[in-house]
Structure 1
Amino acid sequence: MTSTTTTGTDGRIIVRISDPGELVAAVPHLLSFRPGPSVILLNHSRGRERRIIPVIRADLPGEPHERDVVRELVDRLLRHPGAGVTVVIVGSRLGHRARPGELPHRSLTQRLITALDEAGRPVDHALWVPEIRGGAPWTCYHDDCGAGVLPDDRETVMAATMATRGWVTHDSREELVRQLDPDDPAALDRRQRLLDDAVEALAGTGRSAEEERAGRLAVVRAALGRAVRGDFDLSDDDVVLLAMALSDLKVRDRCLTTAEPPGEPAAIAAERLWLELVRRTPPPERAEAAVLLGYAAYRRGDCVLAGLAFGNALAAHPGHRLAELLQICLHRQLPPDALGRLSRAQEGNLMPTDP
């Protein structure tokens, strides 16, 4: 193995990879799912750490569409600063036939190399693998970087590091999508009735807006405390109370702070709580948990899950302003670090200091 881990001055765990095969094996963990036939760009940032951000993926195009896809991929990548790029081609598009003695999709790869070189973003490696599985051969489109066999991506240093952080790598994009599937209709109908009753009862409490907000913040803090301890068992009453709390937009916005620092265990626990609420909360209240899930995923660089979550929020509540804003940021490839200002604009982190 040529991967190592170190701890940065800010406490982050840094995984250093120097072998092309291990870099390819890291792709499912960087995407949060194992890709099928794809073209993938890994952008290497400037500086000593050479972070990989972002990871950009697209389905393999047919030859008539290669120019357009290359133009779009390069445009997306150039919105981020960087010092170099690794191109990974996974598998082959259905019906594609490589010329004898050539790797699949060589013309697509060459178009990417040329376009990136002209844009001042050189390609460090251009690699092809039939699939990202342990034992699969990897080969380089360049003549000078060799070939090899992929390690089992489930047993790499990257996989172990992700697992200790609570990150989940799904076996396919479809599996990633399914994790947002709502609870059974009967449970959602039951909670909708409870929500309606709670809203009606709220009108007769006589409490001030400040008292109501303090109570809602207390509900969220308690749920976050349980999440940090690994308890995600939510009763119907829990779902209703949290949905009511997040319907207060000032409370919801305070919850943006739970995504900080991105990828740390407490932030991952909060993200898991929002995911559970997305599945268990009826619309339109589901939208608030979905936008918090998307924000947390976006902040840690998981743009695929972020996009799914923002779409979920807009399906539950068309015209949701924060979901629309964040979806625009995502489509325009705004770097995740730039979103931190939304968290910093809030009064203070809601995560319990002593879980």
Structure 2
Amino acid sequence: MNMTQARISINGPNDLLTTIPLLLGFKPEHSLVVVGLAARQLQCTFRVDLPGSADHLEHLPDLTGQLSLNECDECVVVAYGEKEVAEASIERAAARLFNAGIPPLDRLRVADGRWFSLTCDKPCCPPEGTPIPETSPASCEVALAGCYAAADRAEVAELLAPAAPGRRAAVERAVAAALAAEADLDWATQRSQDLHAIDHWMSTTALPGPDDIASIGLALGDLDIRDYAIRRICTGQFESNRLDLWTWVTRHMADDLRAPAATVAGFAAYRFGNGVLALEAFDTALKSSPNYRLAQMLRAALQAGYPPASLANIGTAELEAAGREE
């Protein structure tokens, strides 16, 4: 099951709070999280850093536009962190959302493994807080969809960190050999080989060795092949959109060749619903090639809050034509 296809029902704070780390891809700290709902089903999740103190709420980003774009009709506002700044941030965000026509169902603060409700003073929400369980029905459903929570943002970034020097050196040698071999191939033969490589490695659970990493990484440098891979991802047929494959290739390519693979990795993460990993991947692509247009476009769409389902036509029609300008 893909997170873009899943419809997750949230039944109370325990369901919500055990699910948020899985949706974000890491365990939040010093964060404001807004969970958007549509017909009481989970629609989207957005996170921002809390300001440094309650005296600096003007630095708290406004998430009303992102929830409106995702057609949310209600939400829950959650802050992770110290009481004063967390509760002040919750109230600021809740007021903005209420004024935007997306009323908060609840306002929660999380600290030290317990949650505190800012809207309920009944025995079900004691002033000393309620322990957050390890799992819930909703979190199990999200986990079955393939989501997991890293310990922090740094652990997410490590998924795209360069591979060991020896492995990267082996891929660099394979890249040089592949480029030399390609000089003797006609366009149709090369294209057929590249398409076969994409189909083969997307359809297996294995990860390629140096020669095949080089072939895939170089193939993605052709915009037609890159867009073909993106269209295959959009079918939703592949486990976790083969994120493991795309991050694996990204980690092994030389810095100046990483942008295409990193962009495909980011797209796969975005379509799967892992915005944090997607952002890391787009940033990786743009560090390699600052003007790589598709990475720029997708990063902007992600930050604006466009839902993953809206990316179904990426790689075709107008966007495919726009990509030719890179």
- TM-score bucket of the superposed structures, by smaller chain: 0.7 to 0.9
User: 1:182, CA displacement in angstroms?
Assistant: 0.8
Partner of 1:350: none
Are 1:25 and 1:150, in contact at CA under 8 Å, matched by a contact in 2?
no
Consecutive aligned runs of 4 or more in structure 1 exceeding 6 Å deviation: none
Q: How does 1:191-206 map to 2 (within 5 A)?
A: 191-205=171-185
Counterpart pick for 2:308 among 320, 326, 336: 336
Bigger drift between 271-280 and 75-84 goes to 75-84
User: 1:144, CA displacement in angstroms?
Assistant: 5.2
Q: Distance in 2 between matches of 1:81 and 1:159?
A: 23
Q: Which amino acid aligns with 1:293?
A: A
Q: Distance in 2 between matches of 1:160 and 1:78?
A: 28
Are 1:22 and 1:151, in contact at CA under 8 Å, matched by a contact in 2?
no
Q: Distance in 1 between matches of 2:308 and 2:275?
A: 9
Counterpart pick for 2:41 among 47, 50, 53: 50
Are 2:66 and 2:306, in contact at CA under 8 Å, matched by a contact in 1?
no
Are 1:22 and 1:150, in contact at CA under 8 Å, matched by a contact in 2?
no
- TM-score, normalization: structure 2? 0.86
User: Which ranges in structure 1 are unaligned for 5 or more consecutive residues?
Assistant: 1-6, 99-103, 347-355
Q: Distance in 1 between matches of 2:245 and 2:90?
A: 41
**2:295 is equivalent to residue 314 of structure 1:** no
What number of residue pairs does the alignment pair up?
A: 311
Partner of 2:324: none
Partner of 1:161: 141
Sort the Cα spacing of 1:158 and 1:343 in 2 relative to 1 into closer, same or farther, 3 A. farther
Are 2:197 and 2:216, in contact at CA under 8 Å, matched by a contact in 1?
yes
Q: Which amino acid aligns with 1:243?
A: G
User: Which whole-Å deviations, capped at 9, do the CAs of 1:10-39 have from their partners, x for residues lacking one?
Assistant: x95543221212211111011011111211
Sort the Cα spacing of 1:84 and 1:190 in 2 relative to 1 into closer, same or farther, 3 A. same
User: 1:300, CA displacement in angstroms?
Assistant: 2.4
Q: How does 1:118-197 map to 2 (within 5 A)?
A: 118-131=99-112, 136-143=113-120, 146-147=124-125, 149-153=130-134, 155-197=135-177
Q: Distance in 2 between matches of 1:204 and 1:257?
A: 29
Counterpart pick for 2:190 among 212, 216, 230: 212
Partner of 1:327: 299
Q: Distance in 1 between matches of 2:133 and 2:13?
A: 14
User: 1:305, CA displacement in angstroms?
Assistant: 1.0
Q: How does 1:1-355 map to 2 (within 5 A)?
A: 12-45=5-38, 47=39, 50-53=41-44, 55-61=45-51, 62-70=53-61, 72-92=62-82, 98=84, 105-131=86-112, 136-143=113-120, 146-147=124-125, 149-153=130-134, 155-205=135-185, 207=186, 209-227=187-205, 231-232=206-207, 234-262=208-236, 266-342=238-314
SS in 2 for 1:142: coil
Partner of 1:352: none
Are 1:180 and 1:278, in contact at CA under 8 Å, matched by a contact in 2?
yes
Bigger drift between 273-282 and 58-67 goes to 58-67
**Paired-residue identity, %:** 26
Sort the Cα spacing of 1:126 and 1:163 in 2 relative to 1 into closer, same or farther, 3 A. closer
Q: Which structure ranks higher in relative contact order (CA pairs < 8 Å, sequence separation ≥ 6)?
A: 2
Sort the Cα spacing of 1:300 and 1:293 in 2 relative to 1 into closer, same or farther, 3 A. same
User: Which whole-Å deviations, capped at 9, do the CAs of 1:276-328 have from their partners, x for residues lacking one?
Assistant: 11112222222211111111111122211111000111112221111111112
Are 1:260 and 1:267, in contact at CA under 8 Å, matched by a contact in 2?
no
SS in 2 for 1:51: strand
SS in 2 for 1:298: helix
User: Which ranges in structure 2 are unaligned for 5 or more consecutive residues?
Assistant: 319-326
User: 1:345, CA displacement in angstroms?
Assistant: 5.2
